[in-house]
Structure 1
């Protein structure tokens, strides 16, 4: 039997975040695999086109220009091929580093911030040769996606039977990542066990992915099979990450997913919307497993532990 991932139309321009019909669709869609497509999300084709233009522009740069902004201690900048390895995967042992390369930016942080210079609280890095245009494109998309993610945070609360603002205390200073990814074409002699991105779950609250026309993203079903998420025109992929799964009492799984290499290069843009670094996450919906109801996770500590295990630059800086 072929399994397809459902698509939910948010009707963002006309529907309330409290719309019960959309809430029910989100709940049903996410209960199975923790993944769905969303349309009617309010992000225009032009905005998506511009961020892919920025994505391609960055990855066309000479290698020395990219390495000039190699990822810093605050997880911002260029992450080269082989710089990450999904050691924390619960699905399969990662025998090779991920084949992707990417540009990572986060929310702006003022030097006056009380945590400036620690953990993720530091400056973004920008390729000089692309000038202000690249920075403007990234921040424009970042702002639009943050508006959508804030809307989804309210819709997801309603989908769990809670007030729209039930999660607001965790997002007064959200942790937000924008990652411009490039995956190489698969070679005929690539060793077994290589992935564009090895099987993993996402560490935060929710992830929104814009794909180009090349397939490769897959989510693992409960029976262990891998379900493809082919590109769908004007749709974004929404997936539940670890913190949201905890909040939902595991009603919505944070499902393992991966990117397999294709015969063509693949570009995608991933937006990660996560709680405040200091947030203490706990279930808001009772779980059938009593132990799950006692879960309390400090998001920032969880995040930094994941970084330490999965990114080579962390050990090099130690």
Structure 2
């Protein structure tokens, strides 16, 4: 039976002093998960429930505002990747017929906060800041798992995480899937089959479910929420960098029967981690012949341009 493994990060988050054996054993667990199904539940991740809950609460308050109010923050990717995307504005698959969702992105170094919901921006940014130590530890674990000489290899190429003067398309996104009626059948695709564009993605889920992950055998495996965990998955640039050792995992969001029965919206918050814009990504290991060198910015811009519809 194929499943998404749980990786306990307590060896990295439970003490100020981390032994080399703790780093190596945790890196090996992450390697097994991400080189296999490409997803892992992160347990004991070090981010407080209070910060996560506040981000979800504030997000919902924003998304429940009238459309004409939210539209004042509408995103125009010809100018910026920051802001609000209304239902139907972003399609991850050209053949999609039902991808009704809303989102708000905080991307790069210029941040725009909606005036209509004072607590929204600070609550999301607090969760982003709380996630950064975890992200850097995961990047170090990846370098160790690939037996790179420099365990900070990925960290030093992602300086935009902490330096506002370095441009990066790392994006902190909050998503809202409005409640639907019973005219939509359970199992309808809510968010089409796709891969993420960057190195890693952290996903904070509510208790609704619906996310599915494509396994190595091609089967769709439910990524049902596990309380107290965060989902981790791979992106395109990590696949390129690892020469295919960490394939970018396909995933989609379906409409579960519970969502229709409960008549309640679905929410999630996502941290898409990208290298700095100028970084050239080419295989460090594995089968390098399959992957061409690409800059982090150009890859993301190409994928984003094909997703947005106006």
Deviation at 1:223, TM superposition (A): 2.3
Alpha-carbon separation, structure 2, partners of 1:107 and 1:181:
18
Alpha-carbon separation, structure 1, partners of 2:68 and 2:143:
45
Q: Structure 1 residue 45 and structure 2 residue 58: aligned?
A: no
Deviation at 1:188, TM superposition (A): 3.1
Given that residues 184 and 261 in structure 1 are in contact (C-alpha distance below 8 angstroms), is that contact kept between their aligned partners in structure 2?
A: no
Q: Structure 1 residue 26 and structure 2 residue 30: aligned?
A: yes
**CA displacement, residues 143-184 of structure 1 (integer Å, 9 cap, x when unaligned):** 111222122111111121123112234212243211111113
3-state DSSP class of the match of 1:276? coil
Q: Structure 1 residue 104 and structure 2 residue 91: aligned?
A: no
Structure 1 pair 41/281, CA: closer, same or farther in 2 (3 Å)? same
Who is 2:18 aligned against? 16
- Consecutive unaligned residues of structure 2, counting only runs of 5 or more, are 161-167
Given that residues 17 and 164 in structure 1 are in contact (C-alpha distance below 8 angstroms), is that contact kept between their aligned partners in structure 2?
A: no
CA RMSD of aligned residues (A): 2.0
Deviation at 1:186, TM superposition (A): 4.3
Deviation at 1:284, TM superposition (A): 1.4
Given that residues 106 and 176 in structure 1 are in contact (C-alpha distance below 8 angstroms), is that contact kept between their aligned partners in structure 2?
A: yes
Deviation at 1:37, TM superposition (A): 0.7
TM (norm. structure 2) is 0.87
3-state DSSP class of the match of 2:275? strand
Given that residues 17 and 155 in structure 1 are in contact (C-alpha distance below 8 angstroms), is that contact kept between their aligned partners in structure 2?
A: no
Who is 1:55 aligned against? 59
Deviation at 1:142, TM superposition (A): 1.3
3-state DSSP class of the match of 1:141? helix
Alpha-carbon separation, structure 1, partners of 2:112 and 2:159:
24
Who is 1:271 aligned against? 271
Deviation at 1:58, TM superposition (A): 1.2
Alpha-carbon separation, structure 1, partners of 2:98 and 2:305:
15
Alpha-carbon separation, structure 1, partners of 2:132 and 2:113:
20
TM (norm. structure 1) is 0.85
Q: Structure 1 residue 130 and structure 2 residue 117: aligned?
A: yes
How do 1:1-318 residues align onto structure 2 when only pairs under 5 Å count?
Answer: 1=1, 3-11=2-10, 12-14=13-15, 16=18, 18=20, 19-72=23-76, 73-87=79-93, 94-96=95-97, 98-109=99-110, 124-131=111-118, 133-162=119-148, 163-173=150-160, 174-190=168-184, 195-262=189-256, 263=260, 264-287=264-287, 291-292=289-290, 295-313=292-310
Alpha-carbon separation, structure 2, partners of 1:268 and 1:192:
19
Who is 2:164 aligned against? none
Alpha-carbon separation, structure 2, partners of 1:271 and 1:170:
17
Alpha-carbon separation, structure 2, partners of 1:246 and 1:165:
18
Structure 1 pair 233/49, CA: closer, same or farther in 2 (3 Å)? same
Alpha-carbon separation, structure 1, partners of 2:133 and 2:169:
14
Aligned residues: 289
